[in-house]
Amino acid sequence: MEETEQYVIVAHISPDGDAVGSSLGLWHFLTGRGKTVHVITPNAFPDFLKWMEGSKEVLFYDKYRDFANQLISRADVICCLDFNVITRIGDMAEAVSRSKAKKILIDHHLDPGQFTDVVISHPRIASTSELVFRLICQLGAFSEITKAGAECIYTGMMTDTGGFSFNSNSPEIYFIISELLTKGIDKDAIYRKVFNTYSESRLRLMGYVLTKMKTYPAARAALLTLTKEEQAQFDYIKGDSEGFVNLPLQIRHTVLSGFLREDTERKLIRVSLRSVGSFPCNQMAAEFFNGGGHRNASGGELVGYTMEQAIARFEEAVAAYQAVLETAKE
């Protein structure tokens, strides 16, 4: 990272807290070293992440395609954060593939694709933001992490573990948190900024979605759904359904929760899966929903499906995994 000057950091489509947090955490570090760095995401991220310092500098590819393509083509290094296959960056994939820049993958998802020169992939690590922290420290540069950079890294770690409620039993996570706290971050304030800044209509939407919840007691599973029409009815904005998939897991003995949301721009259904204990929802995501992820948190999509067809697909998946669901450890 010492010799080249022009960096581009790219993250996956519909960026979540870890994608944005890790990208901005690395952005703070590299700009602190005097590098020219641009963060580009395929599209916008939720408003509850826009408080992070540097978020206003992020370029959205779907709005500024020509300028973004110029930056990608001129880059010396492209850092690919929080995705394992190049299709996860949508329309930006062609420009990144075509670029002659050295490409570095920093990710924690299973089965990384072969599209970069350097691969830093650790699926056992809870978040890409944690990987960014570890990378900086291995460079001997912990002292260069600023408070703003630490806030971004912590946000990514927190959001990708549901507020440290799943995939977060490693003692090293809490050692890293303690190190980030020495930078002066206020973790309680960060939690409020991310999780307690929703609108009234979002809360009403949550209540509505829960009234339609389908449960499958024999399989210890539950399903939430949200159509385009329902999103319009509740003035939906990006991020309003964040965390909905976790809600059914509050039902005693529920092992698997699914959330199906109809995309407002493309004919597809976005699929989110969460599980507890030993049930591998990432295997279900790969087999039935063209996706993947982690054992307890994964997702996918169903292109060309109606909501009714997507529900049927979910029920097919539950039936196929019923024996595993019945015996899974909570």
Contact 202, 230 (CB under 8 A): no
Domain boundary among 161, 195, 229: 195
The pTM assigned to this predicted structure is: 0.89
Nearest residue to 264 via CA among 288, 300, 230? 230
pLDDT at 3 over 80: no
Angle of helix 187-195 versus helix 171-181 axis, rounded to 10? 100
The verdict on 35 and 148 lying in the same domain is yes
The verdict on 185 and 288 lying in the same domain is no
- Please give the Cα distance from 217 to 326 (Å, whole number): 10
Average pLDDT of the segment spanning 78-100: 97
Determine the structural domain holding residue 221 and report its residue range: 200-327
Residue 265: pLDDT band with limits 50, 70, 90: confident
The verdict on 141 and 254 lying in the same domain is no
- Please give the Cα distance from 55 to 152 (Å, whole number): 10
Total domains present in the chain: 2
- pLDDT value for 4: 58
pLDDT at 260 over 70: yes
The verdict on 23 and 66 lying in the same domain is yes
Average pLDDT of the segment spanning 230-238: 94
The verdict on 189 and 206 lying in the same domain is no
Residue type for position 110: L
Average pLDDT of the segment spanning 104-121: 96
Is 1 inside any structural domain? no
Is 243 inside any structural domain? yes
What's the pLDDT tens digit per position in 132-155?
A: 999 999 999 999 999 999 999 999
Q: Which CATH number goes with the domain that contains 227?
A: 3.10.310.30
